[in-house]
Copies of this chain bind each other. A is one copy, B any other.
Amino acid sequence: MAMKYEVLVEVSLREGIADPQGATIERSLPALGFESIESVRVGKAIRFRIQADDASSAKSTVQQVCERLLANPVIEDTAITITEATTGDAK
């Protein structure tokens, strides 16, 4: 029987790739009184539900989705987290 899984894909810029969004946040912080924060990097957190036979087949599908659609492997890394969906129903 097919199972439902909750997936989180964190897409982050690879080390050494410029992150202007993160740099802008970092520059703004001292003006707001936050002096103790550094190395700000902004990535994407993509969440969805997937139906698959088991966790390993879900993971392999998610890896393909990352490569083909969600991330640009030249400049981005992905981290995949898969958990069994708590409720049985789909939506």
Using a CB–CB cutoff of 8 Å, the interface residues on chain A facing chain B are 2, 10-12, 22, 25-26, 28-29, 32, 34, 36-52, 61, 64-65, 68-70, 90-91
Given contacts A10-B45, A12-B45, A34-B61, contact A39 B69 (CB under 8 A): no
In the complex the two chains form, is B49's CB within 8 Å of A37's CB? yes
Question: How many identical subunits does the complex contain?
Answer: 2
Residue of chain B at shortest CB distance from A36 = B51
Q: How far is the CB of A85 from chain B (nearest CB, A)?
A: 10
Known: A26-B48, A34-B61, A41-B48. 14 other contacts (CB 8 A): A2-B36, A11-B45, A12-B47, A28-B69, A29-B69, A32-B68, A32-B69, A37-B65, A40-B46, A43-B45, A43-B47, A44-B44, A44-B45, A45-B45
